[in-house]
């Protein structure tokens, strides 16, 4: 057991397999409801890295200060968030222990899409028109001022939960009810959580994300990821390319520069950043920015494309160290593509083993069996599987991913017909 523990806030299934974690080195903090409903105690039972699992309602106000005063002598080497909802707690706890982190102020702004719009707009960064709303009448008032397509979205949720694009107000009442009726299941605490809704101008364009590793405001590593979305009104990621396929060097540099300006605007200090953009007619508009590792397997794609150990470099920064200089350009391409299946009961799944043998496959995740239910695609949690691939460049990597998906056949039956 190491003398100085590493505090990780928020459970993700890969935790026991992160090679940077020494035996007995990690304290995992998770919400009690989530621990119970996801059976995290069993999942971590044989994890060599685990020093202790502490159940704590970390998403409540002042939770980090309460934790610090409960464990003042813990003397951790670092504090790092693993999930979106953990970022404010982790940043504040790092401050209390005198460790590297985002800064509590930055984490609070970045966790709240409404606050982030206000702060970055004041700093001159391009944002779509946006307003907090409490009713469909207020949505209609917004459209009177900003006519055209709109986006309804929560200011304080994750994974595209409660987000929908509307190109007319014909079904606004139904859409509003859909967006405010959210279910993140076992991923969140059972207690009631405040919901604040936004209405925004819809911006049509190519979508990207920027990943930065930052140490005391200095950018040590940057990458621009290309994003594809499922067709339809829900802006849910269908796939990613690393680095972004088909992007010019000029646009890539601009997106990195603008992300740096976002971090200056919120006064972000140290950590990993995942910042999303839409580029419309050459002009970037900020979507949102998170002070954490990206999801959707993007870290694995970055490590494959750039030939780096991103997690190792991140934990070096969070311990107050400085990594060796990191590559500025990718050595090859990598991609992830998420599977699609019609909602209903799974009748058959074929071609998976053959698909695993296709060129460039890094991983293939599909956990569907006959009798399982495929839910309607309302958020990222509803996706049924993914494939990660590599190639000489990002275009080839995505082509390899598409070929893998083409070999998999998922048949479902409409449950309404039963």
> % helix / strand / coil in the chain, to the nearest 5?
30, 30, 40
| Strands 78-81 and 6-9, sheet pairing | parallel
What pLDDT, on the 0 to 100 scale, is given for residue 195?
82
List pLDDT tens digits, range 176-198: 988 887 666 677 777 777 788 99
Q: Closest Cα to residue 211, out of 195, 231, 189, 227?
A: 227
Q: By the 8 A CB rule, do 180 and 267 touch? A: no
Cα 23 from Cα 10, distance rounded (Å): 19
Q: What is the CATH number of domain 6-99?
A: 3.40.50.20
Domain ranges, ordered by start, for the chain: 6-99, 129-201, 206-331, 335-417
Q: Write out pLDDT tens, residues 72-115.
A: 999 999 999 999 999 999 999 999 999 999 999 999 999 999 99
Q: Which superfamily does 129-201 belong to? A: ATP-grasp fold, A domain (3.30.1490.20)
pLDDT tens digit sequence for 195-221: 889 999 999 999 999 999 999 999 999
**What CATH number was assigned to the domain covering residues 206-331?**
3.30.470.20
Tens-place pLDDT, residues 222-240: 999 999 998 877 888 899 9
- Domain with residues 335-417, CATH architecture: 2-Layer Sandwich (3.30)
pLDDT, position 341: 85
Cα separation, 187 vs 386, in Å, equals 19
Domains 206-331 and 335-417 share a fold: yes
């Amino acid at each position: 057991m190491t003398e100085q523990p590493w505090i990780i806030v928020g459970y993700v299934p890969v935790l026991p397999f992160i090679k940077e974690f020494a035996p007995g080195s990690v304290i995992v903090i998770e919400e009690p409801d989530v621990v119970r409903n996801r059976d995290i105690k069993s999942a971590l039972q044989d994890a060599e890295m685990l020093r202790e699992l502490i159940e704590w309602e970390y998403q409540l106000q002042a939770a980090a200060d309460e934790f610090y005063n409960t464990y003042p002598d813990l003397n951790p080497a670092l504090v790092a968030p693993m999930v979106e909802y953990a970022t404010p707690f982790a940043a504040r706890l790092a401050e209390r222990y005198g460790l590297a982190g985002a800064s509590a102020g930055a984490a609070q702004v970045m966790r709240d899409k409404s606050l982030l719009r206000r702060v970055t707009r004041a700093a001159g960064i391009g944002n779509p028109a946006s307003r907090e709303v409490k009713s469909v009448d207020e949505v209609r008032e917004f459209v009177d001022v900003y006519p055209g397509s709109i986006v309804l979205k929560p200011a304080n949720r994750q994974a595209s939960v409660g987000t929908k694009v509307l190109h007319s107000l014909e079904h606004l009442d139904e859409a509003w009810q859909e967006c405010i009726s959210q279910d993140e299941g076992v991923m969140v605490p059972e207690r009631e959580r405040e919901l604040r809704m936004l209405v925004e101008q819809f911006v049509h364009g190519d979508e990207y994300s920027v990943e930065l590793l930052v140490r005391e405001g200095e950018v040590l590593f940057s990458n621009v990821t290309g994003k594809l979305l499922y067709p339809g009104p829900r802006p849910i990621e269908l796939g990613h390319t690393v680095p972004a396929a088909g992007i010019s060097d000029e646009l890539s540099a601009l997106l990195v520069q603008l992300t740096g300006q976002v971090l200056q605007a919120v006064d972000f200090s140290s950590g990993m950043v995942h910042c999303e953009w839409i580029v419309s007619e050459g002009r970037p508009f900020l979507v949102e920015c998170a002070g954490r590792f990206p999801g959707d397997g993007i870290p694995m794609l970055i490590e494959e494309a750039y030939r780096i150990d991103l997690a190792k470099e991140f934990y070096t920064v969070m311990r107050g160290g400085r990594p060796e200089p990191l590559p500025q350009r990718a050595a090859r391409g990598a991609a992830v593509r998420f599977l699609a299946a019609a909602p209903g009961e799974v009748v058959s799944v074929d071609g998976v083993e053959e698909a695993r043998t296709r060129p460039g496959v890094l991983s293939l995740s599909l956990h569907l069996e006959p009798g399982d239910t495929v839910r309607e695609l309302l958020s990222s949690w509803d996706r049924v599987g993914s494939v990660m691939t590599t190639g000489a460049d990002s275009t080839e990597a995505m082509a390899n991913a598409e070929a893998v998906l083409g070999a998999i056949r998922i048949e479902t039956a409409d449950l309404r017909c039963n």
